[in-house]
């Protein structure tokens, strides 16, 4: 089944896979990467004030030659007065409206409820067709919902098999209110935590379907009804991602196996990743002690 648009609770729709311009692309000229994503089949571009990529995302949009309605653009508030910030984002993007505007992180505002009222005004003024949040946990999302005149349409979170178990209540609450969950860092089992318990069920599904482990993870995210936000500077990888829309789904048993493996948590790779730093520090200490011993013996 191809990547289909997801229904939002405000009557709009959102493409269910997006090309993100954060992580490794943060602060870079992303013009050619966005153009490559569009050529590959991505119609949803995800940027943010704090990524410092809005200007070159806008350049890519203009150079694509596509009609504004052919592309879906998400940006996020990061700092400053909210009304000025959204207008600054639109200026850099050279757009008259955003399809989706997110409050990037609850810690970026002193008062979540007051900030959300400013977001409602943004939608009222037509500066964004839909509004939402990002990195909100269950309690924070409940704070917004209980006082909202316009419900958040999306909550974009860090989401992978290794944190699915602790996010289940958040996903269930969001679904109750028609709030779409969007996922970033979903490929963490491959990029950050290789060698973990998720590897085995992912490899088994990949072998059955004749696809890559990366595609299995994205199929798993898709099975949860979650919007995928992913990125790469490689066209080959982008083609790998977009091809997931045409792949056969995972079986219920495969999904359950990945869920169960992910619930065990990531491997002790965190310790392994820290080991080099520990060794460097230990080496520096030994050198200092050697120097000190030699100095005192002089």
Q: Give the residue numbers marked as catalytic.
A: 51
Question: CB under 8 Å to 123, separation ≥6 — which residues?
Answer: 10, 129, 130, 131, 150
Tokens of 167: 């996010």
User: DSSP character for 127?
Assistant: S
Asked if 154 and 132 count as a contact pair (C-beta separation under 8 A), the reply is yes
The angle that helices 199-209 and 252-263 make with each other, rounded to 10 degrees, is 160
As a whole number of angstroms, the distance between CA 293 and CA 146 comes to: 65
Tell me the sheet residues that pair with 230. Answer: 19
Q: Is the CA virtual torsion 183, 159, 244, 4 positive or negative? A: negative
As a whole number of angstroms, the distance between CA 87 and CA 11 comes to: 24
Q: Residue 81: helix, strand or coil by DSSP?
A: coil
User: DSSP character for 247?
Assistant: S
Tokens of 141: 């999302």
Q: Report which of 79, 73, 130 is spatially closest to residue 104, judged by C-alpha positions.
A: 79
As a whole number of angstroms, the distance between CA 152 and CA 291 comes to: 60
Asked if 76 and 101 count as a contact pair (C-beta separation under 8 A), the reply is yes
* Range list of H helices, 41-192: 54-64, 82-93, 112-124, 138-147, 164-176, 188-191
104 is in an annotated binding site: yes
Which residues are known binding-site members? 104
Which residues are known binding-site members for substrate? 104
């Amino acid at each position: 089944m191809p990547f289909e648009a997801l229904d939002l609770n405000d009557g709009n729709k959102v493409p269910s896979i997006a090309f993100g311009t954060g992580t490794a692309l943060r602060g870079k000229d992303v013009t050619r990467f966005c153009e490559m994503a569009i050529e590959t089949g991505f119609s949803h571009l995800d940027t943010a004030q704090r990524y410092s990529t809005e200007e070159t995302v806008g350049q890519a949009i203009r150079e694509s030659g596509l009609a504004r309605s052919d592309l879906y653009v998400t940006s996020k508030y990061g700092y400053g007065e909210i009304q000025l910030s959204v207008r600054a984002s639109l200026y850099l993007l050279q757009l008259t409206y955003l399809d989706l505007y997110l409050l990037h992180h609850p810690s970026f505002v002193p008062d979540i409820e007051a900030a959300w009222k400013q977001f409602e005004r943004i939608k009222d003024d037509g500066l964004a067709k839909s509004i939402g949040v990002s990195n909100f946990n269950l309690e924070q999302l409940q704070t917004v919902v209980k006082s909202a005149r316009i419900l958040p349409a999306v909550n974009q979170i860090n989401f992978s098999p290794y944190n699915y178990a602790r996010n289940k209540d958040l996903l269930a609450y969001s679904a109750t209110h028609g709030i779409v969950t969007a996922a970033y860092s979903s490929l963490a089992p491959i990029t950050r935590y290789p060698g973990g318990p998720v590897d085995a069920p992912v490899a088994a599904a990949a072998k059955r379907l004749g696809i890559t482990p990366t595609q299995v993870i994205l199929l798993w995210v898709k099975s949860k009804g979650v919007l995928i936000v992913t990125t790469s500077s490689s066209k080959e990888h982008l083609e790998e991602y977009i091809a997931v829309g045409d792949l056969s789904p995972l079986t219920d048993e495969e999904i359950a196996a990945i869920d169960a493996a992910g619930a065990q948590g990531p491997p002790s790779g965190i310790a392994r990743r820290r080991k080099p730093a520990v060794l460097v520090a230990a080496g520096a200490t030994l050198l200092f002690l050697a120097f000190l011993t030699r100095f005192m013996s002089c």
